[in-house]
Amino acid sequence: MTVPEPDIRIVSPHDELARQMVSALASDTDPRRRALAGILFGGDRWACVTNCAVAMLDRRPIGLATLSPTDECGQGGPHLIGVWVAPQERRRGVGRALVRALAEHARRQCHAAPTVECVTAAGLALAQSAQRSGVPIQVVNCVMPPFAWLDEE
Ligand SMILES: CC(C)(COP(=O)(O)OP(=O)(O)OC[C@H]1O[C@@H](n2cnc3c(N)ncnc32)[C@H](O)[C@@H]1OP(=O)(O)O)[C@@H](O)C(=O)NCCC(=O)NCCS
């Protein structure tokens, strides 16, 4: 059976779709999901975002990634800030498609390859795989034990 490809949309962080995704995560009944929303898409990590990539499948949002012209402290060049894919849709290329879409958007906007600071093993595997397949990003390994639970969702 052929797995349907998600449609990747680049939207503003003020877009209804992106806001709904973050709100749904932040108000989930699972406390880990709520914590994840705060870590990946909350506070400074949301305030610095200028563009989001939303993955849609059958009109349902299934993944979100965010781009900023700097890191969340206002330092450096463009950064991919957060990426999340719904657990049931993982390991079939959705994360890589989100990263590719935002990296290409950054290149069109500011002619620079965004940095991805990876705090989870899955995030690092995703970024390295995207880079191997030619996506223009700079990968920084920031994997640390306190974030391991994000992988286990
Ligand atoms: C990280 C995440 C976005 C990956 O999304 P995904 O849609 O499953 O990623 P893809 O299917 O596009 O996978 C891309 C590559 O990463 C690898 N990968 C993805 N998840 C992995 C995992 N848990 N362990 C090892 N490798 C993994 C895939 O094997 C693939 O590599 P390959 O094509 O060279 O075989 C998803 O696991 C997630 O939302 N995790 C929780 C939030 C998180 O950790 N965000 C990143 C913070 S830095």
- The correct answer on CATH 3.40.50.720 for the domain covering 7-112 is no
Measured in Å, residue 90 CA sits from the centre of ligand 1 at: 7
- In terms of phi and psi (left: phi > 0; alpha: psi -120 to 50; beta: otherwise), the region of 24 is alpha
Residue to mutate (ligand 1; options 126, 151, 153; most atoms within 8 A of CB):
126
Nearest-atom index, ligand 1, CA of 92: 11
Give the burial class of 41: count Cβ atoms within 10 A of its Cβ; 0-12 exposed, 13-18 middle, 19 or more buried: buried
129 lines ligand 1 (CB under 6 A): yes
Ligand 1: which of 91, 92, 149, 150 to mutate, judged by most atoms within 8 Å of the beta carbon?
91
Give ∠ CA 57-21-101 in degrees, rounded to 5. Answer: 60
**pTM for this prediction:** 0.95
* Binding site membership of 148 for ligand 1 (Cβ less than 6 Å): no
Report how far ligand 1's centroid is from the alpha carbon of 57 (Å). 18
- DSSP-derived secondary structure for 49-64: --EEEEEEETTEEEEE
| Closest C-alpha to 33, from 20, 42, 24, 44 | 24
- Rounded mean pLDDT of the chain? 94
Quote the percentage of the chain above a pLDDT of 70: 98
Atom of ligand 1 nearest to the CA of 126: 16
pLDDT tens for each residue of 33-55: 999 999 999 999 999 999 999 99
Question: Does the pLDDT of residue 111 top 90, yes or no?
Answer: no
Q: Write the pLDDT tens digit of every residue in 54-65.
A: 999 999 999 999
Return the bridge partners of 56, or none: 7, 61
CB of 94 closer than 6 A to ligand 1? yes
